[in-house]
């Protein structure tokens, strides 16, 4: 059992405030926008519409507006996947259709997305708290081992600022997830990527608790919708330390994928949805701008180069799983963060929902900040690029007509580079933290990564310093 963190009640209120912030747009849509109340029809409702259609928040794969149009085609007896409009999973379309036929559809839809976000936060809270407990136990074990091998190093490490990892309670982690600005915008925009986040967080939480079969089935739910979460099967497999648990995880994932694909076939009546969903993801046929870089490159690319660069992009999404799984085989939770962060860079249709998922998975590893080299610069650009630069350059290009696509692409390229530096910097910080505890070395801001004995004991006169 995870020991309750201090100030649990305070974090519960913080989480409730985040849920209330998600319900405000619901009130505006139902009683403000539709009925003209509260004076929101000219400002707040326009803002909600802008967020719901923002290319930073939604993509052709996660747009609720497109899903609604696909449901309208289904109601008229047409096959939505016969057009180039619909790239959503048939399961999501069925859920949206049921919600639209409710008595107050806008209210029910908003409550659906808010409930999904809350479930993802609760699952993430259990995962993050359990992971922090494991990290603290491993660090204490390493310090006890160092106390025998290198007593002076162990003593100085115990007196350092990172000697005892800060407590992370379930409600504290859940509140951090709910107040993540990228996650909040995703929920307000009704992006269907919320359902991906729920399935992924449930899979990670169940795997950490030992329910590997259920974890595989939960990950299958996410992979059946957007394909790329299949890469997160690697950390689930690494969490299953015994062969029996590994077989159970793989069986759960395989059975879940087979059942979900069969259910999609029963809904549609054909396999045409495969090419409209997974096929578009792999072939990058829809070139609607987003916060990635694939849309710009494939827009101006000659056809005879297209296949080569498609292979390169998909290679980056899937091949990195193998070397990273070998490198971080002892830390499946950290591997999940690294893979989620890399997918925000290399997959062809990223959105702020994927960035929110990756940054949330960093919360259990936030104690690595003292080991980071570029924390301030990365943190600043992670906020400025998507929330200021991207909307500004999009407005210059599309609305005012004062610029072209290069303006928006420059902002998305900077944001992609920032995400890549972010994940590499955190990976380097993790290795420094781990190496320091295993070998009795410490991170020093002025001397770099130096042995504790070399820092404490003065060098003899004339002696050359050790290479850092």
CA distance 4 to 132: 12
Tally: H helices and E strands in the chain = 23, 2
3-state secondary structure of 443: strand
Place of tokens 């630069």: 389
What is the pLDDT at residue 348?
93
Give the span between the Cα atoms of 390 and 49, in whole angstroms: 17
User: Alpha-carbon Rg of the chain, whole angstroms?
Assistant: 24
Q: Which of 315, 317, 322, 368 is nearest to 340 (CA)?
A: 317
Query: Largest Cα–Cα distance of the chain, in whole Å?
Result: 88
Q: What are phi and psi of 443, to 5 degrees?
A: -90, 125
Phi, psi of 222, deg, nearest 5 = -70, -40
> Which residues are 444's β-sheet partners?
448
State how far the Cα of 164 lies from the Cα of 339, in Å rounded to an integer. 27
Q: What is the pLDDT of residue 445?
A: 42
Phi, psi values for residue 103, rounded to 5°: -65, -45
> pTM of the entire structure?
0.89
Please count the residues of the chain: 468
Q: Cβ–Cβ contacts within 10 Å for residue 2, how many?
A: 17
> Tokens representing 221?
């739910």
What are 282's two structure tokens?
Answer: 């792999």
Residues of the chain with pLDDT under 50: 1-5, 37-40, 443-459, 461, 465-468
Distance CA 49, CA 59 (A): 15
CA distances to 156, 381, 439 from 456, in Å: 9, 37, 16
pLDDT at 465: 45
DSSP state of 276: I
pLDDT at 162: 62
- Cα 109 to the center of its chain, rounded Å: 23
């Amino acid at each position: 059992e995870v020991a309750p963190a201090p100030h649990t009640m305070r974090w519960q209120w913080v989480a409730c405030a985040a849920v209330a912030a998600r319900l405000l747009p619901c009130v505006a849509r139902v009683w403000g926008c539709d009925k003209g109340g509260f004076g929101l029809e000219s400002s707040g409702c326009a803002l909600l519409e802008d967020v719901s259609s923002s290319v930073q928040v939604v993509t052709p794969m996660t747009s609720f507006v497109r899903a609604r149009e696909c449901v309208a085609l289904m109601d008229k007896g047409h096959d939505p996947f016969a057009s180039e409009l619909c790239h959503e999973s048939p399961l999501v379309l069925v859920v949206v259709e049921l919600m639209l036929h409710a008595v107050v559809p806008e209210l029910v839809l908003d409550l659906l997305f808010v409930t999904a976000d809350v479930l993802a936060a609760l699952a993430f809270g259990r995962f993050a708290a359990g992971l922090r407990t494991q990290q603290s136990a491993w660090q204490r074990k390493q310090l006890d081992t160092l106390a025998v091998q290198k007593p002076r190093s162990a003593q100085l490490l115990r007196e350092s600022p990172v000697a005892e990892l800060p407590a992370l309670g379930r409600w504290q982690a859940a509140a951090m997830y709910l107040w993540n600005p990228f996650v909040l915008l995703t929920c307000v925009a009704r992006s269907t990527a919320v359902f991906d986040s729920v399935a992924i967080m449930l899979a990670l939480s169940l795997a950490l608790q030992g329910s590997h079969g259920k974890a595989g089935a939960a990950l299958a739910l996410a992979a059946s919708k957007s394909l790329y979460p299949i890469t997160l099967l690697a950390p689930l497999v690494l969490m299953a330390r015994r062969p029996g648990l590994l077989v159970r995880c793989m069986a759960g994932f395989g059975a879940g994928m087979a059942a979900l694909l069969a259910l999609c076939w029963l809904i549609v009546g054909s396999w045409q949805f495969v090419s409209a969903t997974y096929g578009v993801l792999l072939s990058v046929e829809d070139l609607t701008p987003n916060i990635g870089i694939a849309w710009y490159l494939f827009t101006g690319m000659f056809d005879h180069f297209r296949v080569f660069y498609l292979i390169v992009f998909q290679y980056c999404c899937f091949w990195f799983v193998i070397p990273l799984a070998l490198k971080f085989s002892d830390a499946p939770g950290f591997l999940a963060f690294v893979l989620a962060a890399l997918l925000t860079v290399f997959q062809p249709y990223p959105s702020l929902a994927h960035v929110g998922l990756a940054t949330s998975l960093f919360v259990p590893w936030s104690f690595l900040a003292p080991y980071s080299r570029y924390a301030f610069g990365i943190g600043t650009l992670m906020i400025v690029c998507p929330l200021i630069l991207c909307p500004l350059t999009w407005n210059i290009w599309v609305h005012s007509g004062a610029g072209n696509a290069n303006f928006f692409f420059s902002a998305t390229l900077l944001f992609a580079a920032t995400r890549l530096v972010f994940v590499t910097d955190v990976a380097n910080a993790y290795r420094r933290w781990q190496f320091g505890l295993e070998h009795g070395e410490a991170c020093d801001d002025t001397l770099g990564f130096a042995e504790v004995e070399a820092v404490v004991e003065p060098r003899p006169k004339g002696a050359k310093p050790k290479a850092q």
